[in-house]
Structure 1
């Protein structure tokens, strides 16, 4: 269906011959490989059960990987061992402007060939359901929807309980978004914002919303790699402000430590192979960290940040995880860059190793992060996709053949409460 920036083929597997379409997108983020396992598992289910295809008059279109070039850069950790330290030392995720789901300048100005290929596919298929398969490195599972699917929260809870997957009841990604039920959130319409807001709040146009005009409901299905039980604690916190002060202070302190290391090594990093591409996400993280620390600090002043919504213990756990994630990703990519130069005149690698080990220990020993087997991650995501399909099919109002010129632009899923 297209080729990547490096010329890698982008493969689409279609199953069924129905007149209505479902689109499932795996690998939208380079460091989130679970979607690749999920689409293969999903394909087995579809081939074995005609109720999901012929009987439903549905064709399933499985995009095997949206960012194959980025995925290849994560091969250093994919074969294991599945430890936090190994993962972050070999982690890669491109800078925000090189992530193919985002449309910072709108669909017409989409620059990446992967993005353009996906947009063409969406406009050709006009699916009644699109599922974007994401992974959470540390935390819990949750779903983000562009349209409401009543009942999905209950199905999600059942699946998560059966498979031992924690549900993220206060996801950092959805901090300011309305909840449609436990661990199910409504993606707000795209709005214009600066780059920091785009990165931290998805305040930007995206391929999630591009097919909205066709009546598509998009479900972003997040599956955790390392689960943390605390993210499903919906009780009120004992001392909200104290917890927020701790999170914001920790983020500022860790940022200062990394800034000191980066100041010592940045000049030599430009000698690393493909340095610009690896430094772009580092600079993204540097951009957003001060604003997040201020936003989470109850003493920062009312005019310094957007007011925080009511917070549960789950929210506070998610913020703590998010702060650690930002510095660990930065440290991990700096570690890779420095290793690739072949020399370390500033003796920074031992410092980066020490920081990575300390921060990973906080995840593992204090927050209790535990690896979830890939088979369970993929099974969880598969079941959530099938639940979304059943609900979307039930509510869809099909007026014409999907993909044909006379396909209606009315909502395929009722917009409850709108």
Structure 2
């Protein structure tokens, strides 16, 4: 049986702990593991790549693309241990595992106030941080040539250097269930996801808000559509712009986005039809609209007092993003406002309606948490909004907990689920690459398999 040389963390690792544990692993395995700096964040933090094995075929795993989703850091450490312990994952597959410890270390540091616990919804949302859409390093709203964030440029350069046959982007779902997104179908993966989730007691999300209009490849497995041009709101809600998920596509790369939940909700895997879908949609949309209006009023009262420092601007950017998309989402879900030309919603189930309810509440809670931080950091509250924000956060977290049945999933189980899904994707992608290679298609990720330029 495989044993972890380093004891698994009972909590999420910080940015510094990730680097220290990776360095300790390399010190124990100097022949088979390497650690190198592949870039620097905007605040000067090194971007570390841990590589295991010496195979010619490259697998790239990216942790921490979203600052508030820390599970991926612990997962890449687990994957490194397993790749070192199991010859089938390196020599047997002629593969090298390239594990980017954290793509957004600056944002991750802003979440460290809640990383060590207590793991309550209120503590999480009061200390939540995720940068504005234009500062999230996986997105390419101006295309790869227009990417300016140093974290984004480091990832693009790494993709062009490695030309991986597989890329995994490790994400977390704060409240909901597990699901998987792929740029290319891998037959058999839905069954493996189901087995892993069932064994670990992780709910699968059968209709995530993120994939509302995406093709379904199997239960809780979705096909990422090719990028297209759109406005900012569409990009935030439909991943409509270019991204680092598709950047290595010309190399034959298949990208998998592996989502693991922090708080699980059983209803997200209920496929039954709802008793009254329209009534449920009205409730969800009206709630989001009302919550957005409340938060807009609070922001209007405090914004003139916040100043214009870089720290304030960084916190305000996601607030403005969420308040921008909230009303549009509410209108798009409201059966009384949807017009004939509006894109029709997919068939509604209890799972999908629950996902929409969770998504609407998430927009409001994230906004309230960021506003709470802004006012708290200012050191004074002349408008008296902190008690109001505390009340709203408590009420909305109680709705998650009591109304939706949100239950904490221990960190070790989140990590084990995500690691097992990555290994399953690796196995199937490696088989797929062999088949494509024999048929003359690209897909091995080797320089000889792809043209040396991009269109």
Same-fold call, TM cutoff 0.5: yes
Partner in structure 1 of residue 26 of structure 2: none
Partner in structure 2 of residue 133 of structure 1: 170
Partner in structure 2 of residue 390 of structure 1: 427
Partner in structure 2 of residue 259 of structure 1: 296
1:317 aligns with 2:359: no
- Considering only aligned residues, what root-mean-square deviation do their CA atoms show, in Å? 1.5
Partner in structure 1 of residue 115 of structure 2: 78
**TM-score of the aligned structures, taking structure 1 as reference length:** 0.96
Partner in structure 1 of residue 214 of structure 2: 177
CA contact (8 A) 2:190 2:218 kept: yes
Secondary structure of 1:189's counterpart equals coil
Alpha-carbon separation, structure 1, partners of 2:338 and 2:153: 42
Secondary structure of 1:11's counterpart equals strand
Alpha-carbon separation, structure 2, partners of 1:203 and 1:237: 29
The counterpart of 2:267, out of the listed 230, 237, 260, is: 230
Alpha-carbon separation, structure 2, partners of 1:303 and 1:336: 41
Secondary structure of 1:197's counterpart equals helix
Partner in structure 1 of residue 368 of structure 2: 331
Partner in structure 1 of residue 248 of structure 2: 211
Of 35-44 and 256-265, deviating more is: 256-265
Alpha-carbon separation, structure 2, partners of 1:121 and 1:97: 21
**TM-score of the aligned structures, taking structure 2 as reference length:** 0.88
Deviation of 1:403 (Å): 6.0
CA contact (8 A) 1:234 1:312 kept: yes
Secondary structure of 1:336's counterpart equals helix
Cα gap change, 1:402 to 1:187, in 2 (>3 Å): closer
Partner in structure 2 of residue 270 of structure 1: 307
Partner in structure 1 of residue 224 of structure 2: 187
Partner in structure 2 of residue 406 of structure 1: 448
Q: Deviation string for 1:313-338 (max 9, x for gaps)?
A: 10000000000000000000000000
CA contact (8 A) 2:164 2:446 kept: no
Of 264-273 and 146-155, deviating more is: 264-273
The 5 A counterparts of 1:9-408 are 9-270=46-307, 274-303=311-340, 305-396=342-433, 397-398=436-437, 405-408=447-450
Partner in structure 2 of residue 412 of structure 1: none
Alpha-carbon separation, structure 2, partners of 1:162 and 1:232: 15
Q: Deviation string for 1:2-45 (max 9, x for gaps)?
A: 00011100000000000101000000000000000000111111
Deviation of 1:82 (Å): 0.3
CA contact (8 A) 2:253 2:443 kept: no
Deviation of 1:142 (Å): 0.1
Alpha-carbon separation, structure 1, partners of 2:51 and 2:430: 18
Structure 1 residue runs of 5 or longer lacking an equivalent are: 410-418
Alpha-carbon separation, structure 2, partners of 1:176 and 1:331: 28
CA contact (8 A) 1:103 1:206 kept: yes
Alpha-carbon separation, structure 1, partners of 2:450 and 2:349: 42
Deviation of 1:169 (Å): 0.2
Secondary structure of 1:274's counterpart equals helix
Secondary structure of 2:285's counterpart equals helix
Structure 1 runs, 4 residues or longer, greater than 6 Å off: none
Cα gap change, 1:361 to 1:334, in 2 (>3 Å): same
Alpha-carbon separation, structure 1, partners of 2:450 and 2:303: 54
Cα gap change, 1:33 to 1:177, in 2 (>3 Å): same
Structure 2 residue runs of 5 or longer lacking an equivalent are: 1-37
CA contact (8 A) 2:170 2:258 kept: yes
Q: Deviation string for 1:257-282 (max 9, x for gaps)?
A: 11121111111122666111110000
Alpha-carbon separation, structure 2, partners of 1:131 and 1:35: 10
Secondary structure of 1:260's counterpart equals helix
Q: Deviation string for 1:206-248 (max 9, x for gaps)?
A: 0000001100000000000000000000111111101000000
CA contact (8 A) 2:57 2:446 kept: no
Secondary structure of 2:131's counterpart equals coil
